[in-house]
Structure 1
């Protein structure tokens, strides 16, 4: 209890201190950019609504342990990593896993692995940004981008959040359809998702730890349900391990390449980086004490690594189950399996020799035909958990992004209603007038839309964490910056190729895409140039009045900073 008591004393001391007064003026002056979480809350409150919020609660962190590692301290930091790992398990990822298994069997498991590793490294940067500065990505964007740019970037991230929410609605509606034995129609399931989201807002009132426990429960449900499917399908373990370890894809062509890009785009979500940089602010960390920040960075990375590893295992389960069951299977073969089991769902598979184009709905039906109706219901429960957990993380992402970019503070229920309404209207239209199988086409379109939003998270992330005035001694090292640039360039290039391949034909569409493409490339180019200035590559030019006004926008709190950061080549103190 000594550590918890000391932490409580630290919180009280910082809250009673006069605004603008630093605890340790020799470390980071309070007039500088790097400030304590308490100061950040006093000067620019994140929520400011009458309803309680995730960031209104702080978890006390034990005093620094003399040993290298403390499981007690790891437990204090456990939570944010598991919340962001939900994005690795949302219905969009489940759909991508299912398609990867049925298309290439186990050959793309290594893509799932290395996409998860790339996502982990980028999440690490996002967590460090929030931990070191006490500000999340959207708040930094508000301070560093001119108003027109930050509004445009906000719109892009909002588009990604709404697209992600539409996928969650689709996944949850299909789960209701399967669990009710087709009594609840898909469009009715879509309507139900309006109300189920608000029930989770009630849980938020009971405190952060209970909410984190709820998310851990959802992850546990997915691990058990999809793990059950893995056990009953019994894929050959040698082939699964080979698929994970060997970066090969013998006999693969364009469809498999597009599926690789789909996996990458589904795992690395733009809004998730903004979310992680905000969630880490819930732990009581004194940004004026480098040892505390260094410790927090270490434990956050360990916690996030564990969470991402768990999500990788769950994704592996899904890919392997359908790699074993649907790879090179024809519609007629699967139809015969359903007829032999007496399933009433056999009619959803056409009586032809085409290869099965599986989706979340057909995948669940196949499992029920092959392994009994219990397998179908268990699949639906896992799908429901994926959709519901992703709904809440999307809600938090939207609120942090809106308040950070625009300083526009909405109560939680208004924010949920705004996002869910925009997500439900087009989804309800498709669900009502189309067959349930056609929702998978909509899911692929949403993956394309979210893929093109990645630069609006990756470029700001690298810019902020590579800025000496922002990160101080914790600025990215040169190798870390180069690795982040390499990963980002590869991800952006792959997703651009994926979107180009998915574009519809026709003169009108080409003209529209050309106009939007010019706007898109211009905005990405601006962010890339801002990133280069933030990295210190053009220090001479950055002092020019034109550059300071229109490109490398330097807010007052950075200009007045007395903090002398370490050179970038010596940065990244853990």
Structure 2
């Protein structure tokens, strides 16, 4: 009876919540009968969602599947998918194509599928418990391991942040034909991040639409390169579905590991478990919880399918056009087209090595200036979108692990300062080769931090005391 009473009370609170502009203002989330507290600490009210509003879900009682409901749940998955499209991923993609051709596309496909399964667990945790992963860690772990876990996740966020800053700085440099130096691009990234982060003041759905717009820009930009280069479709499908890498050696193996590290990012699991709290769900109603899990999974699958296609565009472009190309071949072509970047490619027969910066240059040399500028626009969209979602991740992680409330301004200032200081020093005192070279190290760093997200999410979603009927099966 007590459980029923709690469920009715919670439903009443949600029902009586004020609605403004089609969005229900959130009230503090409480444990429902589905996720009973397991300790005195857990009996406190769960932390309220970071967003100040919740999106209402239409009530289509008699429908097995509703596009209206899917639309209501659409948003968190696409914000989550941006981490699969950050500059670190793009660099991993183009290097994969240039070093291994189409042979590692199956690794990209496998990593994306594994990522989808992990994101499904993250979303389920947030829906069932009403708390995101960092909040659950705060309640379940003792102080010392909790602090260690927090530091490791923060390190992953800072590493990702550095990749995004590097990507934006390179994009500004390419778009300005070198007039904006790399250090100038780094400083611009600091300013525009603050501007974009205040977009959610205009409403959660508008913020989600803006992220969707940035993903569309990436799809159009890299899709244009794909159509322009026109890769062999048979080779694309063969590389995607034939899990074999003929003639591959240590270089290709290292690249395969880099793909996994770039695609599955630890802080993204924390982010997704928090974003799903932005929907109005009565956690006392098992049917609603089950339905929310279903629609969030469908939305995540669609979002990651889109991100996978964009990644395939990049891999295929560089596999078709630049696999096994030598420096001297590229140098001669850049000379022929009058490119100012010819000196990036020494006159030797070594295999071409590309990064985000060189990738744009070689596209410009072989396919015209438009290819270079469109590439830079895609990189800029990738950097800007992932910068914002990275900041949200940091906010959720800090608030969850430490139960600490910082203003968005203070949080961005701290993470930006930590990420930008080493990046700015390299940009000032070194050249673009050293700046882009940091991406390889940062991808390895992401791989090393992965267990600090995998272990908690697998552990907590397997606890019947926390998840009840929604715990992972054996």
TM-score calculated relative to the size of structure 2: 0.92
TM-superposed deviation, 1:43: 2.3
The answer to whether the aligner puts 1:11 opposite 2:14 as a matched pair is yes
Give the distance between the partners of 1:351 and 1:437, measured in 2 at CA: 17
Residue pair 2:281, 2:288 contacting (<8 A) in 1 also: yes
Alignment check: 8 A CA contact 1:33 1:133 kept: no
**1:33 offset after TM fit, Å?**
5.6
Q: How many residues align?
A: 456
* Alpha-carbon distance in structure 1 between the residues aligned to 2:182 and 2:214: 22
1:267-278 paired onto structure 2 within 5 Å: 267-278=263-274
Q: 1:163 aligns with which of 159, 164, 174?
A: 159
**Matching residue of 1:79:** 75
The gaps in structure 1 that reach 5 residues or longer are: 1-6, 35-39, 48-52, 479-574
What is the correspondence of 1:492-511 to structure 2 with a 5 Å cutoff?
Answer: none
Please say if 1:233 is aligned against 2:229: yes
2:110 equivalent among 108, 111, 114: 114
Cα deviation, residue 42, structure 1? 8.8
Please give the residue correspondences for 1:351-390 in structure 2 after superposition, counting only pairs within 5 Å: 351-390=347-386
| 2:414 paired residue among 392, 404, 418 | 418
2:398 to 399, 402, 405: 402
Q: Given that residues 94 and 315 in structure 1 are in contact (C-alpha distance below 8 angstroms), is that contact kept between their aligned partners in structure 2?
A: yes
Cα displacement (A) at 1:41: 13
Distance change >3 Å, CA 44–CA 473, structure 1 → 2: closer
* Aligned ranges 1:492-571 → 2 under 5 Å: none
Per-residue CA deviations over 1:84-134 (Å, capped at 9, x if unaligned) read 000000000001001000000100011111110000001000000000110
Shift of 1:440: 2.4
Residue 138 of structure 2 corresponds to which residue in structure 1?
142
Query: Within 2, Cα distance between the matches of 1:21 and 1:160?
Result: 30
| Alpha-carbon displacement from aligned partner over 1:26-56 (angstroms, at most 9, x marks no partner) | x558x6469xxxxx99924446xxxxx5x21
Which of residues 416, 430, 439 in structure 1 aligns to 2:435? 439
Structure 1 position 471 matched with structure 2 position 467:
yes
The answer as to 2:462 corresponding to 1:460 is no
Select the structure with the greater relative contact order (CA < 8 A; seq sep ≥ 6): 2
Question: What's the offset of the Cα at 1:14?
Answer: 7.3
Q: Is the 8 A contact 2:266 2:452 kept in 1?
A: yes
Larger mean CA deviation between 464-473 and 437-446 belongs to 437-446
**Which residue in the other structure is 1:130 paired with?**
126
Aligned to 1:554: none
Q: 1:472 to 1:13 in 2, by over 3 A?
A: farther
Work out the CA distance in 2 between the residues paired with 1:286 and 1:33: 20
**Which of these residues, 310, 314, 317, is aligned with residue 318 of structure 1?**
314
1:449 positional shift = 1.4
Task: Summarize the Cα distance change of 1:332–1:194 in structure 2 as closer, same or farther, 3 Å threshold.
Answer: same
**CA drift at 1:398:** 0.3
Q: Secondary structure at the match of 2:202?
A: coil
Look up the match of 1:512: none
CA shift in 2, pair 1:428/1:439, >3 Å: same
Contact persistence 2:87–2:163 (CA under 8 A): yes
Structure 1 residues 28, 350: CA separation in 2 closer, same or farther (over 3 Å shift)? closer
For residue 287 of structure 1, what is the aligned residue in structure 2?
283
Task: Please give the TM-score of this superposition, normalised by the length of structure 1.
Answer: 0.77
Matched residue, 1:547: none
Q: How far does the alpha carbon of each residue in 1:248-301 deviate from its partner, in whole angstroms, 9 at most, with x for none?
A: 100001111111110001000000000000000000000100000000000000
Query: Quick check: 1:154 aligned with 2:150?
Result: yes
- With over 3 angstroms needed to count, the CA separation of the structure-2 counterparts of 1:185 and 1:285, relative to structure 1, is same
Alpha-carbon shift at residue 352 of structure 1 (Å): 1.3
Aligned to 1:516: none
Give the 3 Å change call, closer, same or farther, for CA 456–347 of structure 1 in structure 2.
Answer: same
Q: Alpha carbon RMSD of aligned pairs, Å?
A: 2.2
Note if contact 1:64-1:292 (Cα within 8 Å) is conserved in structure 2.
no
Counterpart position of 1:508? none
Measured against aligned partners, the alpha-carbon deviations of 1:382-403 in whole angstroms (never above 9, x if no partner) come to: 0000000000110010000000
CA shift, 1:424, in A, is 0.4
SS at match of 1:205: helix
Structure 1 position 67, deviation (Å): 2.0
Cα gap change, 1:42 to 1:459, in 2 (>3 Å): closer
Cα drift, residue 19 of structure 1: 9.7
